[in-house]
Structure 1
């Protein structure tokens, strides 16, 4: 299998994102990381739970992304919650900036994975959900489960 056709397994995933936001569009971005950070990410010690991305001085940064310190690291180990720069083209940054101008929109990291030996992050352009939207989604999910269960019982 060629390198470009390999499936990429997410090393970290933001599971609450689809519950709290409706994802409108996604963009893949690279990350600027230090040596101990990438080693820790490869071990699966990253957390995207409360992280978000923002444009600052014509560059994109991700905030509150927690990467646990590398156990075998020495005194040059990284800070777990430091701000990390995202690698995007100028057109993509301008597109994200225009989406951020609209009220209720946010840019949130969805997945962190390794693609062709390079660490990538999937960013979602999201709109916040109201409480009643969340309840509606839970009802739909429950109905789908019940239908699937009934279909399974029918064909046994």
Structure 2
């Protein structure tokens, strides 16, 4: 996580299982009033969300932010498309990299930084089924080694 960042509000744990993350970018979000209140309450789900470059801008799709309880008629739509705020150089770089086969923009975590909601997006290449199996085997082996060391002391 970038320096000076605050509390992690939501994390996409499935992203590291499904993708090889090569680069990460910190982006701001364009939000409505009730959305930031729900985010501060930690009512965010990033499970099936993804980012896409459209018309020279980056948009976040399928991120679920629950409606705010006291929001009445001013509440937001939970899975609306939200614009990400990045520098032009970063967007141009992402345009070039996402046009290569197999690369996607995946949101990794959402956090508050100086009172502002930020999202960490990663440029990832999709894993094949055998890659996922290898990762699980390595994790299990690491756990077994840790247990053996712990039990021997």
Matches within 5 A, 1:26-65: 26-65=24-63
Distance 1:102 1:5, change over 3 A: closer
The two structures have a TM-score, normalised by structure 1, of: 0.94
Query: CA shift at 1:57, angstroms?
Result: 1.1
**Pairs aligned (count):** 152
Q: Which residue of 2 aligns with 1:119?
A: 117
Matches within 5 A, 1:7-156: 8-155=6-153
Query: CA shift at 1:47, angstroms?
Result: 0.6
Per-residue deviation, residues 32-78 of structure 1 (Å, max 9, x unmatched): 10000000000011111111111111111100011000001010100
Which structure 2 residue ranges, 5 or more long, are not aligned? none
SS at match of 2:16: helix
The two structures have a TM-score, normalised by structure 2, of: 0.96
SS at match of 2:137: helix
